[in-house]
Structure 1
């Protein structure tokens, strides 16, 4: 999965999106801290290929994008909108292919601008970045080639506090950044940094009114690094484990902090927090919960009471575990529970 697959909906309820074979399921909580609803299949009987991406806008509507088989070894992208966690998402709608037709080219990434328009970023067959953006009154703009070459499979997309859409992608020895200059404009490649990025570890987060930050694991040093365009990447700490990091902003002891989570090398969830955009302060890992399966993924969110929620999912076992921040000083968490 690529993006924030644990989301707080427009009605305040949390929802998770779960790949299951050739389908995607969703589960929602009826109320804060209560039992979760049973999984529901999204989009009817449409069969999907691996590589779900999820994005959410200021209106709290979730946008989902995935690949589907179209016959003859070819694939096409499909899109669905989920307006509220306890409602059924819309059926999957075909949105095409960055090269008009062909095989799956890479894992998509989705960001949603201030006007609720989804922007779908995906690597094309030439190894560059392609974009498909929704029109404000329905339908989609034509596919756009945003440039770049030799890109890794998974880009990261994010919406800044300004409502403008941004994207990050890694290539051999370099990290690239695209950004909209004004609402509705085509994102342009505006910065790059020397970096050796471990594939599949990009995670972007809006961190201030003027900046977004991308986190990644350095393929050479093994450090978890942060980069904001306009400066060099900064090492935060040794990565806790090999997989991607989850990130969310929250208030801890009255301070705006960035909370990071990652499955550790020992299999547990490791957390680290630091003052947002103050990487020089450093970050230190603290492990939590039981040991997880090797394929377990982690997501972080803030619920309607502004408490941090962490969820882990293991596709191989189907286990979904959840913990919430306790209503007390610091970052104490409740015991992990299966939902």
Structure 2
């Protein structure tokens, strides 16, 4: 998966999206903080490739993108919108291929601008990045080549507090950054830095009115934070091999960024620090049971402004959840299966 898969909907209910070998499944709270629905299939009976990218707009609608098989040896991208967790999502709608046709080229990424338009990014057959965006009154613009080369598979797309869409991509020995210069414009390559980035570890978060922060693990094993226009900062040693999940939340009256990652021991590790103040330092604290190696973690804030963390493992099918307790610090409730 690419993107946050634990989301709070417009009605305050939490939902999760779980890809399988040929479908995307969804579960949702029946009421905020309540019990959860059984698994349901997203987008009808369309068969999918095992891939899923998720983005959410300011209207809280979820935008889902996956690959589907087309002809022998070829695939195409499809998109669905899920307006509310307890409603059925729209059927999968074909949105094409970055090279017009061909095989699967990489994991897509999705960001949703201030007007609710999904922007879908994916590596193309030439090793660069291509994008397709929704029109404001329905339909999709033509595919656009954003250039770049030797782009690694997973991209990190994010919408800043300004409502403008940004994209980060790892390349050999560095990171590329695209951004919209104005709402609705085609993102342009804005900056490139040299950085020894481990593939598959990018995560982007809007951290202020002016900035987004990219988190990644470097080849030495440090978790780094980078805001375009500045230099990357090593925040703390990575807890484990995969990407982090991050969310902004209020902790004891402070605007903080909370990070979560499956640790090398298999448990979920958490670290928090004042947003954009990496110099304050951060430390991991592990929580919950040991999880399988394929388990992922995602973070959200519920309608009571409490942090929620979820883990899901494709090999076991188990969905585990915890919430912050109503007390100072980052004390969490016991993990429970839902």
Which TM bucket (shorter chain)? Answer: over 0.9
SS of alignment partner, residue 279 of structure 2? helix
Q: Find the aligned partners of 1:126 and 1:21 in 2 and give their Cα distance.
A: 26
Q: Find the aligned partners of 2:214 and 2:51 in 1 and give their Cα distance.
A: 20
Deviations 1:279-323 (A, max 9, x none): 111110000000001100000000011000000000010000000
The answer for the alignment partner of 2:129 in structure 1 is: 129
The yes-or-no answer on 1:325 pairing with 2:324 is yes
**Residues 32-43 of structure 1 correspond to what in structure 2 (within 5 A)?**
32-43=32-43
The answer for the alignment partner of 2:244 in structure 1 is: 245
**Residues 148-297 of structure 1 correspond to what in structure 2 (within 5 A)?**
148-218=148-218, 220-297=219-296
Deviations 1:243-299 (A, max 9, x none): 110000000010000000000000000000000001111110000000001100000
* 1:192, distance to aligned residue in structure 2 (A): 1.2
**Residues 295-310 of structure 1 correspond to what in structure 2 (within 5 A)?**
295-310=294-309
* 1:45, distance to aligned residue in structure 2 (A): 1.4
The answer for the alignment partner of 1:91 in structure 2 is: 91
SS of alignment partner, residue 196 of structure 2? coil
* 1:162, distance to aligned residue in structure 2 (A): 0.4
Q: Find the aligned partners of 1:7 and 1:123 in 2 and give their Cα distance.
A: 25
The answer for the alignment partner of 2:11 in structure 1 is: 11
Deviation beyond 4 Å, 4+ runs, structure 1 = none
Q: Indicate conservation of the 8 Å contact 2:20/2:50, yes or no.
A: no
SS of alignment partner, residue 231 of structure 1? coil
Deviations 1:5-46 (A, max 9, x none): 111111111010011221100000012221100010011211
Unpaired stretches in structure 2, ≥5 consecutive residues:
none
Q: Find the aligned partners of 1:290 and 1:21 in 2 and give their Cα distance.
A: 26
The answer for the alignment partner of 1:79 in structure 2 is: 79
The yes-or-no answer on 1:112 pairing with 2:116 is no
SS of alignment partner, residue 154 of structure 1? strand
* 1:196, distance to aligned residue in structure 2 (A): 1.3
Q: Find the aligned partners of 1:127 and 1:19 in 2 and give their Cα distance.
A: 25
Tell me the TM-score normalised to structure 2 length. Answer: 0.99
How many residue pairs get aligned? The number is: 338
Unpaired stretches in structure 1, ≥5 consecutive residues:
none
SS of alignment partner, residue 153 of structure 1? strand
* 1:164, distance to aligned residue in structure 2 (A): 0.3
